[in-house]
Amino acid sequence: MNDAATEQLRVENALHHALKNQEFVLHYQPMIDLRTGRIVSMEALVRWQAKNGELIAPNQFIPIVESTGLINELGVWIFRTACAQVKAWHEQGLHDIKMSINISPVQLRTPELSNIVLRILDEMELAPEALDFEITETVLIQNISLALDQLERLQKRGIGLSIDDFGTGYSSLSYLKRLPVDTVKIDRSFIKEVHRGSHDFSILRAITAMAHELGISILAEGVETEEQLDIVMELGTDLTQGYLFSKPLPAAEATDLLHLDVTAHIDHRFRHNPHSGVAAK
Ligand code: G
Ligand code: MN
């Protein structure tokens, strides 16, 4: 075997162990409604907490997990864990908070996906409305009509649908055409270097107009600076997510954040936001 194949096998074995030994953890990153300054949802992001203490980011292992059958097993673990967390938040009085869960295109190939999801929700007595699925097309989806049928079925039951990393996928636009999408998350590559008059600025403005024309909410990913926040607010973006507000946090810290009044941190912005429904306090 060549080196690449040996390495792939080594990582695959390690991932098998990781799943058995419960080395995966979920971190949660808030999504903020720019009209109210409130956290409306938490995105569940998987991390691999290796036994040597190292925290490994998903882009380093998800492609391998996807290329093996492991993604279904890991996917179910992520789904159950995230559902249990949002249920716990609801029970702590945070009734309106939603959970956003990334669904791999590989999972969408599984014909049983929607059944599994609905069965687990039933078992856990969690309303489908508490969930939002984020779909990103990093690989071309085989059997797209099966994937779309499953998503449509889940959406009919009340699960929200978002297109993740919008603007980078193979066919983000065809999703908009074929699925009743609730939210479009603009990829952070358009936010990173945006300034007034730039190409990125025009693209953001055009995508926002298109989404609103279609009755879809728009979220700006990867907002890290006050300047970027200014711009996305000026463009009428509905929601945002990024390091300016919070990195993905371990469950305990995410819970603390939800119990705090997050508005305090960004309150001053809303006085200047022409789109804000919140009057200056
Ligand atoms: O593909 P998706 O958008 O789901 O990826 C989310 C990833 O983006 C997470 O791993 C998270 O750590 C990272 N992320 C979230 N907010 C920011 C940000 O403001 N800047 C950068 N560089 N990365 C971010
Ligand atoms: Mn996502």
Give the pTM: 0.90
| pLDDT exceeds 50 at position 250 | yes
What atom in ligand 1 is closest to the CA of residue 244? 19
Lowest mean pLDDT among 24-33, 61-70, 158-167, 254-263: 254-263
| CA angle at 14 for the pair 13 and 18, rounded to the nearest 5° | 120
What atom in ligand 1 is closest to the CA of residue 59? 10
Q: What is each CA distance from 183 to 142, 180, 228, 239, in whole angstroms? A: 23, 9, 20, 9
For residue range 175-218, list pLDDT tens digits in order. 888 888 999 999 999 999 999 999 999 999 999 999 999 999 99
What value does the mean pLDDT take over residues 220-237? 97
What atom in ligand 1 is closest to the CA of residue 164? 3
pLDDT of residue 9: 86
pLDDT of residue 212: 97
Ligand 1 midpoint to CA 279 (Å): 30
Cα first-last separation, the chain: 67
| CA angle at 212 for the pair 248 and 245, rounded to the nearest 5° | 20
Q: What is each CA distance from 7 to 12, 64, 106, 240, in whole angstroms? A: 8, 11, 22, 38
For residue range 118-173, list pLDDT tens digits in order. 999 999 999 999 999 999 876 667 778 888 999 999 999 999 999 999 998 776 78
Three-class DSSP category at 39: strand
Which residue is closest in CA terms to ligand 1's atom 18? 222
For residue range 58-96, list pLDDT tens digits in order. 988 998 898 888 999 999 999 999 999 999 999 999 999
On whether the CB atoms of residues 149 and 143 are closer than 8 A, the answer is no
| Neighbouring residues of the ion ligand 2, judged by CB less than 5 Å | 102, 134, 164
What atom in ligand 1 is closest to the CA of residue 242? 19
Q: How far apart are CA 89 and CA 96, in angstroms?
A: 9
Ligand 1 midpoint to CA 125 (Å): 30
Which residue is closest in CA terms to ligand 1's atom 24? 222
Q: How far apart are CA 271 and CA 184, in angstroms?
A: 26
For residue range 210-228, list pLDDT tens digits in order. 999 999 999 999 999 999 9
Ligand 1 midpoint to CA 123 (Å): 31
For residue range 96-106, list pLDDT tens digits in order. 999 999 999 88
Closest CA to 29 of 251, 263, 262: 251
Q: How far apart are CA 10 and CA 241, in angstroms?
A: 35
